[in-house]
Protein backbone atom coordinates (compact mmCIF):
# COMPACT_ATOMS: atom_id res chain seq x y z
CA UNK A 1 0.00 0.00 0.00
CA UNK A 2 1.02 3.64 -0.33
CA UNK A 3 1.14 5.92 2.67
CA UNK A 4 -1.02 9.02 2.99
CA UNK A 5 0.90 12.26 3.25
CA UNK A 6 -0.13 15.88 2.84
CA UNK A 7 -3.43 15.08 1.15
CA UNK A 8 -2.06 12.43 -1.28
CA UNK A 9 -1.41 8.70 -1.40
CA UNK A 10 2.33 8.44 -2.07
CA UNK A 11 4.93 5.76 -2.68
CA UNK A 12 8.68 5.61 -2.02
CA UNK A 13 11.53 3.46 -3.33
CA UNK A 14 12.47 2.21 0.12
CA UNK A 15 9.84 -0.27 1.31
CA UNK A 16 9.04 -2.26 4.43
CA UNK A 17 7.65 -5.81 4.14
CA UNK A 18 4.46 -6.63 6.00
CA UNK A 19 4.32 -10.34 6.79
CA UNK A 20 1.87 -12.93 8.03
CA UNK A 21 3.41 -14.10 11.32
CA UNK A 22 1.96 -17.60 10.93
CA UNK A 23 4.14 -18.46 7.92
CA UNK A 24 6.37 -15.45 7.20
CA UNK A 25 4.71 -14.78 3.82
CA UNK A 26 4.96 -11.17 2.64
CA UNK A 27 1.39 -9.85 2.41
CA UNK A 28 2.23 -6.37 1.18
CA UNK A 29 4.81 -3.61 1.44
CA UNK A 30 4.61 -0.01 2.68
CA UNK A 31 6.91 2.95 2.01
CA UNK A 32 9.54 4.03 4.52
CA UNK A 33 9.07 7.71 5.35
CA UNK A 34 12.14 9.93 5.02
CA UNK A 35 13.07 13.07 6.95
CA UNK A 36 11.57 15.13 4.07
CA UNK A 37 8.31 13.19 4.38
CA UNK A 38 8.14 13.93 8.10
CA UNK A 39 8.71 17.60 7.41
CA UNK A 40 5.96 17.56 4.76
CA UNK A 41 3.57 15.84 7.19
CA UNK A 42 4.21 18.43 9.90
CA UNK A 43 3.77 21.29 7.44
CA UNK A 44 0.54 19.83 6.08
CA UNK A 45 -0.81 19.11 9.56
CA UNK A 46 -0.43 22.74 10.54
CA UNK A 47 -2.67 23.69 7.63
CA UNK A 48 -4.99 20.76 8.39
CA UNK A 49 -5.40 21.88 12.00
CA UNK A 50 -6.82 25.20 10.77
CA UNK A 51 -9.22 23.42 8.42
CA UNK A 52 -10.41 21.10 11.19
CA UNK A 53 -10.84 23.86 13.77
CA UNK A 54 -13.00 25.78 11.28
CA UNK A 55 -15.46 22.87 10.89
CA UNK A 56 -18.43 22.87 13.23
CA UNK A 57 -18.76 20.14 15.82
CA UNK A 58 -21.70 18.80 13.85
CA UNK A 59 -19.63 18.58 10.66
CA UNK A 60 -16.91 16.68 12.51
CA UNK A 61 -19.58 14.40 13.97
CA UNK A 62 -20.91 13.66 10.48
CA UNK A 63 -17.47 12.65 9.19
CA UNK A 64 -16.80 10.36 12.13
CA UNK A 65 -20.29 8.87 12.00
CA UNK A 66 -19.86 8.05 8.29
CA UNK A 67 -16.40 6.61 8.94
CA UNK A 68 -17.88 4.33 11.62
CA UNK A 69 -20.51 3.13 9.14
CA UNK A 70 -17.85 2.48 6.49
CA UNK A 71 -15.80 0.40 8.92
CA UNK A 72 -18.85 -1.76 9.57
CA UNK A 73 -19.67 -2.04 5.86
CA UNK A 74 -16.07 -3.13 5.18
CA UNK A 75 -15.82 -5.34 8.25
CA UNK A 76 -15.02 -8.64 6.50
CA UNK A 77 -12.31 -7.17 4.30
CA UNK A 78 -10.78 -5.22 7.18
CA UNK A 79 -10.85 -8.23 9.49
CA UNK A 80 -8.97 -10.24 6.87
CA UNK A 81 -6.23 -7.58 6.63
CA UNK A 82 -6.00 -7.18 10.40
CA UNK A 83 -5.87 -10.91 11.13
CA UNK A 84 -3.28 -11.53 8.39
CA UNK A 85 -0.79 -8.91 9.53
CA UNK A 86 -1.25 -9.17 13.31
CA UNK A 87 -1.89 -12.88 13.79
CA UNK A 88 -5.06 -12.59 15.89
CA UNK A 89 -7.90 -14.89 14.90
CA UNK A 90 -10.38 -13.79 12.30
CA UNK A 91 -13.09 -13.85 14.99
CA UNK A 92 -11.05 -11.52 17.20
CA UNK A 93 -10.28 -9.31 14.20
CA UNK A 94 -13.99 -8.99 13.28
CA UNK A 95 -14.86 -7.94 16.78
CA UNK A 96 -11.98 -5.45 16.78
CA UNK A 97 -13.44 -3.83 13.66
CA UNK A 98 -16.82 -3.54 15.41
CA UNK A 99 -15.24 -2.05 18.53
CA UNK A 100 -13.29 0.38 16.37
CA UNK A 101 -16.48 1.57 14.70
CA UNK A 102 -17.90 2.13 18.17
CA UNK A 103 -14.87 4.24 19.18
CA UNK A 104 -15.35 6.38 16.06
CA UNK A 105 -19.09 6.70 16.69
CA UNK A 106 -18.56 7.76 20.31
CA UNK A 107 -15.86 10.21 19.28
CA UNK A 108 -18.29 11.74 16.79
CA UNK A 109 -20.91 12.10 19.51
CA UNK A 110 -18.40 13.93 21.69
CA UNK A 111 -17.70 16.37 18.85
CA UNK A 112 -21.28 17.62 19.30
CA UNK A 113 -20.85 18.50 22.97
CA UNK A 114 -17.46 20.10 23.37
CA UNK A 115 -18.18 22.87 25.80
CA UNK A 116 -16.83 24.93 28.65
CA UNK A 117 -18.25 26.13 31.95
CA UNK A 118 -19.28 29.40 33.52
CA UNK A 119 -16.72 30.44 36.15
CA UNK A 120 -17.95 31.69 39.55
CA UNK A 121 -15.48 34.58 39.51
CA UNK A 122 -17.29 36.65 42.14
CA UNK A 123 -16.32 33.99 44.66
CA UNK A 124 -12.90 35.64 44.63
CA UNK A 125 -12.38 38.40 47.19
CA UNK A 126 -13.10 41.84 45.76
CA UNK A 127 -14.20 40.52 42.36
CA UNK A 128 -17.25 42.30 40.94
CA UNK A 129 -18.80 42.81 37.54
CA UNK A 130 -16.83 40.09 35.78
CA UNK A 131 -18.28 37.28 33.73
CA UNK A 132 -15.97 34.34 33.15
CA UNK A 133 -16.26 31.16 31.16
CA UNK A 134 -14.00 28.52 29.67
CA UNK A 135 -13.63 27.38 26.10
CA UNK A 136 -12.19 24.08 24.95
CA UNK A 137 -9.98 24.63 21.93
CA UNK A 138 -8.15 22.05 19.84
CA UNK A 139 -4.45 21.42 20.56
CA UNK A 140 -3.58 21.79 16.88
CA UNK A 141 -1.38 18.94 15.71
CA UNK A 142 -1.70 15.60 17.49
CA UNK A 143 0.88 12.82 17.03
CA UNK A 144 -0.64 9.35 17.39
CA UNK A 145 1.89 6.53 17.88
CA UNK A 146 0.32 3.11 18.10
CA UNK A 147 1.32 -0.51 18.92
CA UNK A 148 0.82 -3.70 16.94
CA UNK A 149 -1.61 -5.55 19.16
CA UNK A 150 -4.87 -3.64 18.47
CA UNK A 151 -3.77 -1.95 15.27
CA UNK A 152 -7.23 -0.64 14.36
CA UNK A 153 -8.98 -0.14 17.68
CA UNK A 154 -6.13 1.74 19.36
CA UNK A 155 -5.63 3.90 16.28
CA UNK A 156 -9.35 4.80 16.41
CA UNK A 157 -8.99 5.64 20.11
CA UNK A 158 -6.51 8.34 19.16
CA UNK A 159 -7.60 9.49 15.71
CA UNK A 160 -11.33 9.60 16.61
CA UNK A 161 -11.05 11.92 19.64
CA UNK A 162 -8.31 14.02 18.00
CA UNK A 163 -10.48 14.75 14.95
CA UNK A 164 -13.63 15.16 17.06
CA UNK A 165 -11.84 17.88 19.01
CA UNK A 166 -10.85 19.69 15.79
CA UNK A 167 -7.19 18.70 15.54
CA UNK A 168 -5.09 17.40 12.66
CA UNK A 169 -3.32 14.08 13.22
CA UNK A 170 0.00 12.59 12.22
CA UNK A 171 -0.34 8.86 12.67
CA UNK A 172 2.60 6.49 12.96
CA UNK A 173 1.31 2.91 13.16
CA UNK A 174 3.43 -0.02 14.37
CA UNK A 175 5.82 -1.35 11.71
CA UNK A 176 4.36 -4.88 11.91
CA UNK A 177 0.76 -3.76 11.37
CA UNK A 178 0.56 -0.65 9.17
CA UNK A 179 -1.98 -1.90 6.61
CA UNK A 180 -5.10 -1.71 8.73
CA UNK A 181 -4.23 1.86 9.80
CA UNK A 182 -3.94 2.87 6.13
CA UNK A 183 -7.36 1.29 5.49
CA UNK A 184 -8.77 3.41 8.31
CA UNK A 185 -7.35 6.54 6.69
CA UNK A 186 -9.08 5.51 3.47
CA UNK A 187 -12.40 5.14 5.29
CA UNK A 188 -12.00 8.57 6.88
CA UNK A 189 -11.25 10.20 3.52
CA UNK A 190 -14.20 8.39 1.95
CA UNK A 191 -16.30 9.77 4.80
CA UNK A 192 -15.34 13.32 3.84
CA UNK A 193 -12.33 14.08 6.05
CA UNK A 194 -10.27 16.93 4.55
CA UNK A 195 -7.01 15.50 3.17
CA UNK A 196 -4.72 17.67 5.25
CA UNK A 197 -6.40 16.59 8.49
CA UNK A 198 -4.46 13.33 8.61
CA UNK A 199 -1.13 11.94 7.47
CA UNK A 200 -0.20 8.33 8.09
CA UNK A 201 3.54 7.74 7.86
CA UNK A 202 4.98 4.23 7.85
CA UNK A 203 8.54 3.28 8.75
CA UNK A 204 10.59 2.51 11.82
CA UNK A 205 9.51 3.89 15.18
CA UNK A 206 13.00 4.95 16.07
CA UNK A 207 13.41 7.30 13.09
CA UNK A 208 9.86 8.31 12.09
CA UNK A 209 8.27 8.25 15.56
CA UNK A 210 11.13 10.04 17.22
CA UNK A 211 11.29 12.84 14.64
CA UNK A 212 7.55 13.49 14.97
CA UNK A 213 7.54 13.42 18.77
CA UNK A 214 10.45 15.81 19.19
CA UNK A 215 9.05 18.48 16.82
CA UNK A 216 7.66 21.66 18.36
CA UNK A 217 4.81 21.89 15.86
CA UNK A 218 3.25 18.86 17.55
CA UNK A 219 1.33 20.02 20.60
CA UNK A 220 0.08 16.67 21.87
CA UNK A 221 1.49 13.14 21.77
CA UNK A 222 -0.82 10.22 22.32
CA UNK A 223 1.30 7.09 22.64
CA UNK A 224 0.36 3.48 23.28
CA UNK A 225 3.19 0.98 23.52
CA UNK A 226 5.93 -0.30 25.75
CA UNK A 227 7.26 1.40 28.87
CA UNK A 228 10.75 1.65 27.35
CA UNK A 229 9.58 3.51 24.23
CA UNK A 230 7.19 5.66 26.29
CA UNK A 231 10.09 6.75 28.45
CA UNK A 232 12.19 7.61 25.37
CA UNK A 233 9.34 9.69 23.96
CA UNK A 234 8.86 11.58 27.24
CA UNK A 235 12.58 12.35 27.26
CA UNK A 236 12.48 14.04 23.83
CA UNK A 237 8.97 15.51 23.86
CA UNK A 238 9.80 18.87 25.39
CA UNK A 239 6.86 21.10 26.38
CA UNK A 240 3.89 19.12 25.06
CA UNK A 241 0.87 17.33 26.41
CA UNK A 242 1.47 13.57 26.53
CA UNK A 243 -0.75 10.58 27.10
CA UNK A 244 1.11 7.35 27.77
CA UNK A 245 -0.76 4.03 27.60
CA UNK A 246 1.95 1.53 28.56
CA UNK A 247 2.40 -2.07 29.61
CA UNK A 248 1.44 -4.17 32.62
CA UNK A 249 1.57 -7.61 34.29
CA UNK A 250 -2.03 -7.62 35.49
CA UNK A 251 -3.12 -9.74 38.46
CA UNK A 252 -6.25 -11.85 38.68
CA UNK A 253 -6.89 -12.63 42.35
CA UNK A 254 -8.91 -15.57 43.64
CA UNK A 255 -10.20 -15.47 47.22
CA UNK A 256 -11.47 -18.62 48.98
CA UNK A 257 -15.17 -17.84 48.35
CA UNK A 258 -14.74 -17.23 44.58
CA UNK A 259 -16.99 -18.86 41.99
CA UNK A 260 -14.29 -21.05 40.45
CA UNK A 261 -16.12 -21.70 37.18
CA UNK A 262 -16.22 -17.95 36.58
CA UNK A 263 -12.53 -17.72 37.47
CA UNK A 264 -11.70 -20.39 34.90
CA UNK A 265 -13.63 -18.61 32.14
CA UNK A 266 -12.04 -15.26 33.03
CA UNK A 267 -8.53 -16.73 33.15
CA UNK A 268 -8.84 -18.42 29.78
CA UNK A 269 -10.17 -15.24 28.18
CA UNK A 270 -7.94 -12.74 30.01
CA UNK A 271 -4.82 -14.87 29.73
CA UNK A 272 -4.97 -16.08 26.15
CA UNK A 273 -7.01 -13.65 24.01
CA UNK A 274 -4.82 -12.39 21.15
CA UNK A 275 -2.18 -14.95 22.23
CA UNK A 276 -1.71 -13.04 25.48
CA UNK A 277 -0.65 -9.89 23.65
CA UNK A 278 -3.02 -7.51 25.41
CA UNK A 279 -1.84 -4.79 27.78
CA UNK A 280 -4.44 -5.97 30.32
CA UNK A 281 -3.87 -9.73 29.90
CA UNK A 282 -4.07 -11.70 33.13
CA UNK A 283 -0.40 -12.54 33.67
CA UNK A 284 -0.36 -13.28 37.41
CA UNK A 285 -3.04 -15.59 38.79
CA UNK A 286 -2.86 -14.97 42.54
CA UNK A 287 -4.72 -17.83 44.22
CA UNK A 288 -5.41 -18.29 47.91
CA UNK A 289 -4.18 -21.66 49.19
CA UNK A 290 -7.65 -22.98 50.15
CA UNK A 291 -8.85 -23.13 46.52
CA UNK A 292 -5.57 -23.65 44.66
CA UNK A 293 -5.85 -27.37 43.88
CA UNK A 294 -9.54 -27.33 43.05
CA UNK A 295 -9.05 -24.37 40.70
CA UNK A 296 -6.10 -25.98 38.91
CA UNK A 297 -8.14 -29.15 38.41
CA UNK A 298 -10.77 -27.12 36.55
CA UNK A 299 -8.44 -24.70 34.77
CA UNK A 300 -5.76 -26.94 33.24
CA UNK A 301 -8.12 -28.94 30.95
CA UNK A 302 -9.69 -25.70 29.71
CA UNK A 303 -6.30 -24.25 28.76
CA UNK A 304 -5.29 -27.52 27.12
CA UNK A 305 -8.44 -27.42 25.00
CA UNK A 306 -7.64 -24.03 23.36
CA UNK A 307 -7.38 -24.67 19.61
CA UNK A 308 -4.43 -22.81 18.16
CA UNK A 309 -3.43 -22.62 14.50
CA UNK A 310 -4.10 -20.67 11.30
CA UNK A 311 -5.58 -17.39 12.46
CA UNK A 312 -7.75 -17.06 9.35
CA UNK A 313 -9.69 -20.26 10.13
CA UNK A 314 -12.98 -19.79 11.99
CA UNK A 315 -12.17 -22.89 14.10
CA UNK A 316 -9.01 -21.34 15.55
CA UNK A 317 -9.19 -19.88 19.06
CA UNK A 318 -5.59 -18.66 19.33
CA UNK A 319 -3.29 -17.57 16.52
CA UNK A 320 0.47 -17.00 16.36
CA UNK A 321 2.27 -14.24 18.20
CA UNK A 322 3.18 -11.22 16.10
CA UNK A 323 6.81 -12.29 15.58
CA UNK A 324 8.80 -15.53 16.02
CA UNK A 325 11.31 -13.52 18.07
CA UNK A 326 8.59 -12.62 20.57
CA UNK A 327 7.49 -16.26 20.85
CA UNK A 328 11.15 -17.21 21.42
CA UNK A 329 11.41 -14.62 24.19
CA UNK A 330 8.28 -15.92 25.91
CA UNK A 331 9.63 -19.48 25.62
CA UNK A 332 12.95 -18.37 27.17
CA UNK A 333 11.24 -16.67 30.09
CA UNK A 334 9.17 -19.80 30.75
CA UNK A 335 12.28 -22.02 30.63
CA UNK A 336 14.07 -19.63 32.99
CA UNK A 337 11.12 -19.73 35.44
CA UNK A 338 11.22 -23.53 35.32
CA UNK A 339 14.90 -23.48 36.27
CA UNK A 340 14.04 -21.13 39.13
CA UNK A 341 11.49 -23.54 40.59
CA UNK A 342 8.22 -23.05 38.68
CA UNK A 343 6.58 -26.05 37.00
CA UNK A 344 4.76 -26.20 33.68
CA UNK A 345 1.21 -27.51 34.18
CA UNK A 346 0.42 -27.40 30.47
CA UNK A 347 1.89 -25.98 27.24
CA UNK A 348 5.45 -24.69 27.22
CA UNK A 349 6.42 -25.57 23.64
CA UNK A 350 7.06 -23.21 20.71
CA UNK A 351 7.11 -23.56 16.95
CA UNK A 352 7.99 -20.44 14.97
CA UNK A 353 5.64 -17.65 16.06
CA UNK A 354 3.29 -20.16 17.72
CA UNK A 355 3.68 -20.48 21.48
CA UNK A 356 1.47 -23.03 23.23
CA UNK A 357 -1.02 -21.72 25.80
CA UNK A 358 0.94 -22.26 29.00
CA UNK A 359 0.19 -22.41 32.72
CA UNK A 360 3.07 -22.13 35.18
CA UNK A 361 2.63 -23.27 38.79
CA UNK A 362 4.60 -22.18 41.89
CA UNK A 363 5.72 -18.93 40.26
CA UNK A 364 7.79 -16.61 42.46
CA UNK A 365 8.03 -12.83 42.61
CA UNK A 366 11.59 -12.66 41.29
CA UNK A 367 10.83 -14.55 38.08
CA UNK A 368 10.55 -12.49 34.87
CA UNK A 369 7.19 -14.16 34.13
CA UNK A 370 5.88 -12.48 37.29
CA UNK A 371 7.71 -9.19 37.67
CA UNK A 372 8.10 -8.03 34.04
CA UNK A 373 5.55 -7.72 31.24
CA UNK A 374 5.39 -11.12 29.52
CA UNK A 375 3.03 -10.16 26.67
CA UNK A 376 2.47 -13.74 25.54
CA UNK A 377 0.16 -16.73 26.05
CA UNK A 378 1.22 -17.83 29.53
CA UNK A 379 -0.26 -17.33 32.98
CA UNK A 380 1.89 -17.62 36.13
CA UNK A 381 0.14 -18.96 39.24
CA UNK A 382 1.32 -17.44 42.53
CA UNK A 383 0.02 -18.74 45.87
CA UNK A 384 -1.30 -16.35 48.51
CA UNK A 385 -2.09 -17.14 52.15
CA UNK A 386 -5.05 -14.77 52.50
CA UNK A 387 -6.53 -11.48 51.26
CA UNK A 388 -3.78 -9.35 52.87
CA UNK A 389 -1.11 -11.41 51.18
CA UNK A 390 -2.99 -11.27 47.85
CA UNK A 391 -3.24 -7.45 47.95
CA UNK A 392 0.45 -7.15 48.79
CA UNK A 393 1.34 -9.46 45.89
CA UNK A 394 -0.96 -7.62 43.46
CA UNK A 395 0.74 -4.34 44.38
CA UNK A 396 4.26 -5.76 44.22
CA UNK A 397 4.71 -4.50 40.68
CA UNK A 398 5.97 -1.38 38.94
CA UNK A 399 2.85 -1.52 36.78
CA UNK A 400 -0.74 -0.61 37.59
CA UNK A 401 -3.14 -0.94 34.67
CA UNK A 402 -5.92 -3.40 35.50
CA UNK A 403 -6.75 -6.07 38.08
CA UNK A 404 -9.53 -8.57 38.68
CA UNK A 405 -10.66 -10.08 41.98
CA UNK A 406 -13.11 -12.91 42.48
CA UNK A 407 -14.99 -13.02 45.79
CA UNK A 408 -18.57 -13.13 47.07
CA UNK A 409 -17.68 -10.91 50.01
CA UNK A 410 -18.66 -7.30 49.34
CA UNK A 411 -16.35 -5.95 52.03
CA UNK A 412 -13.37 -7.77 50.52
CA UNK A 413 -14.36 -6.53 47.05
CA UNK A 414 -14.51 -2.91 48.19
CA UNK A 415 -11.19 -3.31 49.97
CA UNK A 416 -9.59 -4.57 46.75
CA UNK A 417 -11.12 -1.72 44.78
CA UNK A 418 -9.55 0.78 47.17
CA UNK A 419 -6.23 -0.87 47.88
CA UNK A 420 -5.08 -2.43 44.62
CA UNK A 421 -3.01 0.22 42.82
CA UNK A 422 -4.16 0.30 39.22
CA UNK A 423 -6.31 2.26 36.79
CA UNK A 424 -9.14 -0.29 36.50
CA UNK A 425 -10.37 -2.85 39.04
CA UNK A 426 -12.86 -5.56 38.10
CA UNK A 427 -14.87 -7.31 40.79
CA UNK A 428 -15.82 -10.84 39.69
CA UNK A 429 -14.33 -10.21 36.26
CA UNK A 430 -10.89 -10.66 34.73
CA UNK A 431 -8.55 -7.70 34.15
CA UNK A 432 -9.08 -7.90 30.38
CA UNK A 433 -12.29 -5.94 30.07
CA UNK A 434 -12.93 -2.51 28.66
CA UNK A 435 -15.76 -0.59 27.12
CA UNK A 436 -15.14 2.64 25.30
CA UNK A 437 -17.40 4.77 27.47
CA UNK A 438 -15.20 4.35 30.52
CA UNK A 439 -11.99 6.17 31.35
CA UNK A 440 -9.14 3.80 30.65
CA UNK A 441 -5.48 4.14 31.54
CA UNK A 442 -2.84 3.08 34.00
CA UNK A 443 -1.00 4.42 37.01
CA UNK A 444 2.63 3.86 38.08
CA UNK A 445 4.73 2.65 35.11
CA UNK A 446 1.55 1.76 33.17
CA UNK A 447 1.12 5.32 32.07
CA UNK A 448 -0.30 8.79 32.25
CA UNK A 449 -3.68 10.16 31.20
CA UNK A 450 -6.90 8.47 30.14
CA UNK A 451 -8.43 7.17 26.93
CA UNK A 452 -12.05 6.55 26.03
CA UNK A 453 -13.32 9.27 23.66
CA UNK A 454 -14.82 11.55 26.28
CA UNK A 455 -11.66 11.50 28.40
CA UNK A 456 -9.21 11.50 25.48
CA UNK A 457 -10.87 14.66 24.17
CA UNK A 458 -10.05 16.43 27.45
CA UNK A 459 -6.43 15.47 26.86
CA UNK A 460 -6.52 16.59 23.23
CA UNK A 461 -7.93 20.05 23.86
CA UNK A 462 -6.66 23.08 25.74
CA UNK A 463 -8.82 24.98 28.22
CA UNK A 464 -8.96 28.72 27.70
CA UNK A 465 -10.45 31.10 30.29
CA UNK A 466 -12.33 34.17 29.05
CA UNK A 467 -13.20 37.07 31.35
CA UNK A 468 -15.57 39.89 30.38
CA UNK A 469 -14.94 43.01 32.45
CA UNK A 470 -17.82 45.47 32.87
P1 LIG B 1 6.45 -0.55 21.08
O2 LIG B 1 6.67 0.35 22.24
O3 LIG B 1 7.57 -1.37 20.60
O4 LIG B 1 5.97 0.32 19.80
C5 LIG B 1 4.84 1.17 19.86
C6 LIG B 1 4.95 2.21 18.76
O7 LIG B 1 6.05 3.08 19.03
C8 LIG B 1 5.20 1.64 17.37
O9 LIG B 1 4.46 2.38 16.43
C10 LIG B 1 6.69 1.86 17.17
O11 LIG B 1 7.05 1.93 15.81
C12 LIG B 1 6.86 3.21 17.87
N13 LIG B 1 8.23 3.51 18.31
C14 LIG B 1 9.23 2.64 18.58
N15 LIG B 1 10.33 3.31 19.00
C16 LIG B 1 9.99 4.63 18.99
C17 LIG B 1 10.68 5.83 19.35
N18 LIG B 1 11.94 5.80 19.78
N19 LIG B 1 10.02 7.01 19.24
C20 LIG B 1 8.73 7.06 18.82
N21 LIG B 1 8.03 5.95 18.47
C22 LIG B 1 8.66 4.76 18.56
O23 LIG B 1 5.18 -1.44 21.46
P24 LIG B 1 4.56 -2.69 20.67
O25 LIG B 1 5.50 -3.85 20.78
O26 LIG B 1 4.05 -2.29 19.34
O27 LIG B 1 3.24 -2.96 21.59
C28 LIG B 1 3.29 -3.69 22.77
C29 LIG B 1 3.33 -2.79 23.99
O30 LIG B 1 2.24 -1.89 23.98
C31 LIG B 1 3.18 -3.58 25.29
O32 LIG B 1 4.06 -3.07 26.25
C33 LIG B 1 1.74 -3.30 25.69
O34 LIG B 1 1.46 -3.45 27.05
C35 LIG B 1 1.57 -1.90 25.24
N36 LIG B 1 0.14 -1.58 25.09
C37 LIG B 1 -0.47 -0.78 26.03
C38 LIG B 1 -1.84 -0.51 25.93
C39 LIG B 1 -2.55 0.36 26.94
O40 LIG B 1 -3.65 0.77 26.64
N41 LIG B 1 -1.98 0.65 28.09
C42 LIG B 1 -2.56 -1.06 24.88
C43 LIG B 1 -1.92 -1.87 23.95
C44 LIG B 1 -0.55 -2.12 24.06
Q: Is 176 helix (H, G, I), strand (E, B) or coil?
A: coil
Residue 349 included in any domain: yes
User: pLDDT for 228-241, tens place per residue?
Assistant: 999 999 999 999 99
Ligand 1 lined by 442 (C-beta under 6 Å): yes
pLDDT for position 160: 98
Catalytic residue among 156, 200, 213, 279: 279
The closest alpha carbon to 60, from 187, 220, 188, 155, belongs to: 188
Catalytic site includes residue 382? no
236 and 257 inside one domain: no
Residue 433 included in any domain: no
Q: Is 396 helix (H, G, I), strand (E, B) or coil?
A: coil
197 and 268 inside one domain: no
Q: Is 221 helix (H, G, I), strand (E, B) or coil?
A: strand
192 and 255 inside one domain: no
Alpha carbon of 425 to ligand 1 centroid (Å): 23
16 and 125 inside one domain: yes
- Nearest protein CA to atom 26 of ligand 1, as residue: 147
116 burial level (CB within 10 Å; 0-12, 13-18, 19+): middle
**Letter string b/e over residues 47-63, b meaning 16 or more CB atoms within 10 A of that residue's CB:** ebbeebeebebeebbbb
Rounded distance between C-alpha atoms, residue 248 and residue 449, angstroms? 15
**How many other β-carbons are positioned within 10 Å of the β-carbon of residue 24?**
12
User: pLDDT for 138-190, tens place per residue?
Assistant: 999 999 999 999 999 999 999 999 999 999 999 999 999 999 999 999 999 99
33 and 66 inside one domain: yes
Residue 261 included in any domain: yes
pLDDT for position 240: 96
150 and 46 inside one domain: yes
Whether 120 contacts 465, CB under 8 Å = no
pLDDT for position 117: 97
CATH number of the domain to which 291 belongs: 3.40.309.10
392 and 319 inside one domain: yes
User: pLDDT for 323-354, tens place per residue?
Assistant: 999 999 999 999 999 999 999 999 999 999 99
Residue 291 included in any domain: yes
264 and 412 inside one domain: yes
221 and 77 inside one domain: yes
Question: How far, CA to CA in Å, does 381 sit from each of 168, 295, 307, 394, 397?
Answer: 45, 11, 22, 12, 15
* Separation of CA 127 from chain center: 46
**Letter string b/e over residues 343-355, b meaning 16 or more CB atoms within 10 A of that residue's CB:** ebbbbbebeebbb
The closest alpha carbon to 280, from 409, 429, 105, 402, belongs to: 402
CATH number of the domain to which 239 belongs: 3.40.605.10
pLDDT for position 257: 98
pLDDT for position 403: 98
pLDDT for position 161: 98
Ligand 1 lined by 375 (C-beta under 6 Å): yes
Report the relative pairing of strands 198-200 and 354-355 from DSSP bridges: unpaired
Q: What percent of the chain lies above the pLDDT cut of 90?
A: 100
In this prediction, residues 20-30 reach a mean pLDDT of: 97
pLDDT for position 400: 98
φ, ψ for residue 402, nearest 5 deg = -150, 150
Where residue 448 falls among pLDDT bands split at 50, 70, 90?
A: very high
Question: How far, CA to CA in Å, does 313 sit from each of 157, 304, 308, 353, 399?
Answer: 28, 19, 10, 17, 35
Greatest CA span in the chain, whole angstroms? 76
285 and 365 inside one domain: yes
Helices (H) and strands (E) counted in the chain, each on its own, are: 15, 22
Q: List the domain range (segments joined by +) for residue 112.
A: 3-246+444-469
Catalytic residue among 85, 245, 373, 459: 245
Residue 438 included in any domain: no
- Nearest protein CA to atom 14 of ligand 1, as residue: 205
Alpha carbon of 67 to ligand 1 centroid (Å): 25
Q: How many domains does the chain have?
A: 2
Ligand 1 lined by 246 (C-beta under 6 Å): yes
pLDDT for position 280: 98
In this prediction, residues 274-280 reach a mean pLDDT of: 98
Catalytic site includes residue 96? no
Would the pTM of this model clear 0.95, i.e. be above it?
A: yes
Residue 74 included in any domain: yes
Where residue 50 falls among pLDDT bands split at 50, 70, 90?
A: very high
Where residue 305 falls among pLDDT bands split at 50, 70, 90?
A: very high
DSSP β-bridge partners for residue 328: none
Whether 157 contacts 186, CB under 8 Å = no
Residue 439 included in any domain: no
100 and 146 inside one domain: yes
Residue 453 included in any domain: yes
419 and 451 inside one domain: no
Amino acid sequence: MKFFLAGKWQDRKEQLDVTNPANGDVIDTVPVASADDIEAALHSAQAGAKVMAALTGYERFQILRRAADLLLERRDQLAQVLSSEEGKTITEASSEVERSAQAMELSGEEAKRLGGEVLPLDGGQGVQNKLGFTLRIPCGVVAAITPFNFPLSLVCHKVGPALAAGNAVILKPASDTPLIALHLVKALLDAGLPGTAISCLTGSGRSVGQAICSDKRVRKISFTGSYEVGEQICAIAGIKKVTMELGANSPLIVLPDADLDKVVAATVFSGFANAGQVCISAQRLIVTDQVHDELMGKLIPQIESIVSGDQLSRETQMGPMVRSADAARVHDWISEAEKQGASIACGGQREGAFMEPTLLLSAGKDMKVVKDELFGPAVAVCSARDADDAIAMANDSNFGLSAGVFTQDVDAAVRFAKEVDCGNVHINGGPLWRTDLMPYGGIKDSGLGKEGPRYAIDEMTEMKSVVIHS
